[in-house]
Structure 1
Amino acid sequence: MRQLIIKIAKGHKDEVLKSIEEFEGKNTIYLPQDEQDVFVIYLPNRTVNNFLKRIDEYEEPEISLIPRGVITLYPPASESPGQVADVQPKSSLEIYLGGIQSVGSVKGLIGYSFAAGIIVWIGLYTTTIFLLVAAMLVAPFAGPAMNAALATAAGKMPLLKSSLKRYGMAIGIGILASFLMTVIFPLETLTPLMVEVSHVSKVALLLPLISGFAGAINIVQSERDSLVSGAAVGILVAASLAPPVGLVGAGIYMMNWEIVWSSVFRIILQLLGIHLAATLVFYFFGRVTPGGVRFLKGNKKLTYLTTAIVTLGIGAMMVWQFSQPPFLRKASMNTELTEELDKELNKLDYIEVIGKDVNFTNTMINGNPTVSYNITVLPSDTTLSESVLKKRIINHLKENLRHQEDNIYEVFQVNVAED
């Protein structure tokens, strides 16, 4: 339930009270004054927007909406538990106004973006995972992401332009901070964490779709119905953006264009996926539509056109990803090649496999990306010398390892353990 305080010109008392009853208002308080009537109203979340549309017919009301849940208890007392448990999503008006209110200052956006860029660079430089998490907490990406989706759902071009501007500013400042840190502390080679973060999976699209869905659901739900804090959802949104933003700055300094382009791919894919998922949630679940919010007259063409562009953009990104093997699928190919390696090693009865690891490197040999197979085995047949054993294993793998790509340069490292 939401509490509203309304001032309205005299002469409409009966109509207003009738509207309150129609929209399931409870515990209404009526306070007559000399020139205006004052109503303190408690309405279910879902009816707030339509109720305000109705009272707009009575000249120009003054409205105070308190965006916090209110527990209303009314007869019969035996139904109180059910009344308290009735938790509904926010009204479309509150969702939209809340998005606008969360825009915040440009100075804060600049400061947090710069701080996040520095923190993520330190995390990548020192291979410290928890610093990447800290950068996700600080990075101000969630606000512009959700506001851009709100603008698309509502068909409001000014809000969309403002959100995209803030989006670009936050990402650009994060890249600049990472670049400056690399200038101050020059890097000659990528750290292991940088290499790992630069690898893209074939299921990379799922993360932004889930992030956008979770972020929008958190905004639409009332505070008593949300099982996850807003900060946690903000981290989820930033998790898909902060690390690649930091990598772009370092990659530009090192002129490592593979790192730069893989990071740019991830950033664009995250932006499009978050936007699409959040827009659909706001439109269908939050009822934020061009004509669905009081006083808001959005442009339906903008909603449909922007959604179509984002959808086509995602399709183009998928074509780009799967037409550039294995450039933009190294993370998932590591897993696939490990499975193939395990299958082939299990066919060799003269060894026991102690450990195995498959990793793409950022080194190009003969113009092809390089994958390293690192295997540790314990020989079952002690009559074989170490050199013969290694040669037999490598020859078997070269002849039998199967994968879809033919432009991969493979190197093998076999370590023979002793018991």
Structure 2
Amino acid sequence: MRQLIIKVPKGNKEEILGLVADFKGKNTICLSEEQNDVFVLFLPNQKVNNFLQHLDKYEKPEISLIPRGVITLYPPATDSPEQVADVQPKSSLEIYLGGIQSVGSIKGLIGYSIAAGIIVWIGLYTTTVFLLVAAMLVAPFAGPAMNAALATSAGKMPLLKSSLARYGLAIGTGILASFFMTIIFPLETLTPLMVEISQVSKVALLLPLISGFAGAINIVQSERDSLVSGAAVGILVAASLAPPVGLIGTGLYLMDWEIISSSVFRVVLQLLGIHLAATLVFYFYGKVTPKGVRFLQGSSKMTWFTSAFVALSIAAMMYWQFSQPPFLRKASMNTELTEKLDSELDKIDFIEVIKKDVNFTNTIINGEPTVSYEVTVLPKNTNLSEKEIKKAIIEHLKKNLTYQDSNIHEVYLINVAEE
């Protein structure tokens, strides 16, 4: 339930009370002044927007909407549990106005972006994973992401432009912070964590879709109906953006175009995926539509055009990702190649596999990306020498370790352990 305080010209008391009853309002209080009647009432969340639309026929109504959940109790007392359990999503008006209200100041946006860029750079530089989580807490990416999706679902181009501008400012500031940190503390090569994070998986689209869905659901749901805090959802949105943003700054310093291009690909894909998923939630679940929010009057054409553009852009990026192997699928290819390696090693009966590892490197040999197979084995029931064991394993792997992409350069490191 939401509490509203409305003021209308005197003489409309009975009509307002009837309107409140029609919209299932509860515990209404009426106070009279010399020229106005003031009503304190409580409405179900989903009734607020339509109720306010009906107030337009009264001359200059004054409205105060308190965006906090209220528990209303009324006779019979035996129905109190059901009354308390009636939790509805927020009204479309509250969702939209709440998004605009959360914009915040530019100074705060820049400050948090600088802080996030520095923290993520330190985490990448020192290979400290928990600092990446800290950067996700600080990064101010969730607000512009949700506001851009709200703008698309509502068909409001000015809000979309301002949200995209804040997006660009936050991301650009984070990149510059990482770039200047690399200048202050020069790097000559990428750290292992940087290499790992730079690799893109073939399922990379799932993270922004889930992030956008979770972020929008958190905004639409009533606070007592939300099982996850807003801060946790903000981390989920930033998790898909903060690390690659930091990598772009470092990649620019090192002039490593593979790192730059893969990180830019991830950032753009994350933005598009978050935007599409959140827009769908706001439009269909939150009822934030061009004609569905009081005062709004958005453009339906803008909603559908922007949504179609985002969907087509995602499709184009997916086509590029899967048509350029293995450039943008190294993370998932590591897992797939490890499975194939394990399968082929099981076929060699004179060794016991102690350890195996597959990693793509940033080294280009003969114009092809390099994948390293590192295997540690223990000989069993064989009179072969260490050199012969290594040769036999490598020959078997070269012959049988085939993959759908032929344009990768394979190197082998075979270690023979002793008991």
Q: Structure 1 length as normaliser, TM-score?
A: 0.99
1:381 CA drift (Å): 2.4
Question: Where do 4+ consecutive residues of structure 1 move more than 6 Å?
Answer: none
Q: Which residue number in structure 2 is paired with residue 329 of structure 1?
A: 329
Once the two structures are superposed, the pairs formed by residues 198-217 of structure 1 within 5 Å of their partners are: 198-217=198-217
Q: Which moved more, 1:20-29 or 1:56-65?
A: 56-65
Counterpart amino acid of 1:413?
L
- What percent identity do the matched residue pairs reach? 78
Q: Deviations over 1:79-131 (max 9, x none)?
A: 00010011110000000000000000000000000110010000000000000
Counterpart amino acid of 1:289?
T
Distance 1:59 1:147 in 2: 32
Secondary structure of the equivalent of 1:415?
strand
Q: Which residue number in structure 2 is paired with residue 165 of structure 1?
A: 165
Q: Deviations over 1:266-312 (max 9, x none)?
A: 00000000000000000000000000001111011100010010001
Q: Which residue number in structure 2 is paired with residue 342 of structure 1?
A: 342
Counterpart amino acid of 2:409?
Y
Q: Which residue number in structure 1 is paired with residue 286 of structure 2?
A: 286
Q: Which residue number in structure 1 is paired with residue 379 of structure 2?
A: 379
Q: Which residue number in structure 1 is paired with residue 109 of structure 2?
A: 109
1:62 aligns with 2:73: no
Q: CA RMSD in A?
A: 0.5
1:182 CA drift (Å): 0.6
Distance 1:158 1:389 in 2: 68
Secondary structure of the equivalent of 1:27?
strand
Q: Which residue number in structure 2 is paired with residue 413 of structure 1?
A: 413
Secondary structure of the equivalent of 2:362?
strand
Distance 1:49 1:129 in 2: 45
Q: Which residue number in structure 2 is paired with residue 194 of structure 1?
A: 194
Distance 1:372 1:60 in 2: 73
Counterpart amino acid of 2:304?
Y
Q: Which residue number in structure 1 is paired with residue 37 of structure 2?
A: 37
Q: Which residue number in structure 1 is paired with residue 230 of structure 2?
A: 230
Distance 1:35 1:320 in 2: 67
Once the two structures are superposed, the pairs formed by residues 73-222 of structure 1 within 5 Å of their partners are: 73-222=73-222
Q: Deviations over 1:44-100 (max 9, x none)?
A: 000000000011111221011000000000011000001001111000000000000
Secondary structure of the equivalent of 2:261?
helix
1:3 aligns with 2:6: no
Aligned residue pairs total 419
1:46 aligns with 2:46: yes
Q: Deviations over 1:370-415 (max 9, x none)?
A: 0000001111124110000000000000000121101000000111
1:12 CA drift (Å): 1.3
Unpaired stretches in structure 1, ≥5 consecutive residues: none
Counterpart amino acid of 2:13?
K
Q: Which residue number in structure 2 is paired with residue 239 of structure 1?
A: 239
1:15 CA drift (Å): 1.3
Distance 2:158 2:12 in 1: 36
Distance 1:57 1:168 in 2: 42
Counterpart amino acid of 2:156?
K
1:42 CA drift (Å): 0.3
Q: Which residue number in structure 2 is paired with residue 13 of structure 1?
A: 13
1:10 CA drift (Å): 1.2
Counterpart amino acid of 2:416?
V
Secondary structure of the equivalent of 2:360?
strand
1:133 CA drift (Å): 0.3
Distance 2:330 2:104 in 1: 38
Distance 1:20 1:158 in 2: 34
Secondary structure of the equivalent of 1:411?
strand
Distance 1:329 1:103 in 2: 35
Distance 1:158 1:39 in 2: 34
Distance 1:348 1:293 in 2: 68
Unpaired stretches in structure 2, ≥5 consecutive residues: none
1:188 CA drift (Å): 0.3
Q: Which residue number in structure 2 is paired with residue 319 of structure 1?
A: 319
Secondary structure of the equivalent of 1:4?
strand
Secondary structure of the equivalent of 1:140?
coil
Distance 1:290 1:59 in 2: 25
Distance 1:116 1:348 in 2: 49
Distance 2:22 2:358 in 1: 66
